[in-house]
Structures are given as structure tokens and as C-alpha cells.
Amino acid sequence: MKDKVVLVTGANGGLGAYVTQAFLDAGATVIGTSRKIQQSDFGSSSFTALPAEISTREGAQSLVGQVVGRFGKLSVLAHTVGGFAGGQSIADTDDATFQRMLDMNLNSIFHILRATIPALRQTGSGRIIAIGSRQALEPGAGVGAYSASKAAMVSLIRTVALENKDAGLTANVILPGTMDTPANRKSIPNADFSKWVQPSTVANLMTWLAGDAGKDINGAVVPVYGSDV
């Protein structure tokens, strides 16, 4: 990943921290963003923290403008931002919960895609890798708003893949099962953690898709379910 400029959204989150470190380890120049990202979050001279609000078009465009203005290009978008809500049937889901899932899981990637695609097309080999969820394809009871927002996200990424293949830009989405993060362990303390997906596995897959080895993978929906299949 030498000479690649990578933007990681949600860079200091439960998965985002692994993704950021994986790209740094691969030799990339990494710009990490979230609402509260700090330069001290990663001890590498190749890392730059840029706090931003990507849930609005203006915020996303401002962020990408800073990246291109400072580094001259953008090679890779690694999108890890997302949120979860569950426990209610569709009939009992309130407007605020449904809208929150759309904002976190769909609108955020919509805004960052519109902001990054022009810059990614200019490289002739741009990469977009986004994190979805197993429940985008396999919805379950009580998680309707979450599943719907992730399913729409998958559709968006596959559309981007079709629309930009002429520029050598690929777009793929990874669908993890439950990941072994501190937050998930806290919320489901009695689960069998050995069946969960390791964040490092997902991070390494993202760097592979972003590199030369992944150039022929486009519009893919990649399941990563661990041993819980």
C-alpha cells in the first residue's frame, strides 16, 4: 500500500481501529476520521486525524476537500461507520429508531460516496470497501430497521461498482457476522465468543481488497461469518 492515500471512516471505533492499523502496517498514508478522532489515537507518522461529521453532505465534502488538498489524491475509502438497534418488531419500531438506523448505516455512506467518488476516479485504480452486516442478507426478528438500512447500503455499493468500473474504480462490501469487540462482549456476555469474527480478519480482508491483488473483485458482497454458519 505504499504511496496509497487511504481514508478510514470510524477510524477509532471497535473495528475501525483494526482497519486503520492494518493499512498503516501495509505502508499506506492513512487519514482517520470520526467525530472525536485524535492524532494520539495512533502512534504513526503516516497517520493523520481529521475530525469530521459525515452524516451531512457538507461535512463529507469538507473532509474530502481537506484530504485531497493536503495529500494531493485519494486512493481508498474504507468505510466502517455504522450503528445497531434491535429488540423491537417492525410494528413496535418508532420513527426515531428507524431514522437513526438510516442516518448511521445508509445516509453516512451516501454522503461520503458522493464526496469521494470524483477523487477516487481520478486515480484510475480507486477502491471502496464498506462494512455491512450479515443481517443485510439474513434479516432476523427484532432487527428490522437495522437490517433494512444495511440492505440498502449493499444496494448502494453495488450500484457504485457498476457506475464507475469504466474508471478502474472498484466497490465492494463485507458482511461480517457478530464481531468480537469489547462492546459486543458487554452487550451479549453469555455468548460463545469463539464463534465470533475477529476484527483483525475483517481488517486484513479490507487491505487485500484495496491492494493490487483485489483489482478484479468488483461489486462483491463478501460474507465473513466466522464459525457461526
CA distance 29 to 53: 21
> Which domains does the chain possess?
5-224 (3.40.50.720)
pLDDT tens profile 167-187: 999 999 999 998 888 888 888
Q: What residue has cell string 469530521?
A: 52
pLDDT tens profile 127-157: 999 999 998 999 989 999 999 999 999 999 9
Is residue 213 pLDDT above 90, yes or no? yes
- The confidence score (pLDDT) of residue 229 equals 62
- The confidence score (pLDDT) of residue 185 equals 87
Q: State percent of the chain over pLDDT 70.
A: 100
Q: What residue has cell string 450479515?
A: 134
- The confidence score (pLDDT) of residue 187 equals 83
pLDDT tens profile 56-107: 999 999 999 999 999 999 999 999 998 888 889 999 999 999 999 999 999 9
204: cell is 486484513
- Whether residue 216 contacts residue 193, with contact meaning beta carbons closer than 8 Å, is answered with no
Quote the DSSP letter at residue 106.
I
- The confidence score (pLDDT) of residue 87 equals 86
- The confidence score (pLDDT) of residue 151 equals 96
- The confidence score (pLDDT) of residue 223 equals 94
CA distance 148 to 99: 11
- Whether residue 135 contacts residue 143, with contact meaning beta carbons closer than 8 Å, is answered with yes
121: cell is 476516479
- The confidence score (pLDDT) of residue 180 equals 87
Q: What residue has cell string 463478501?
A: 222
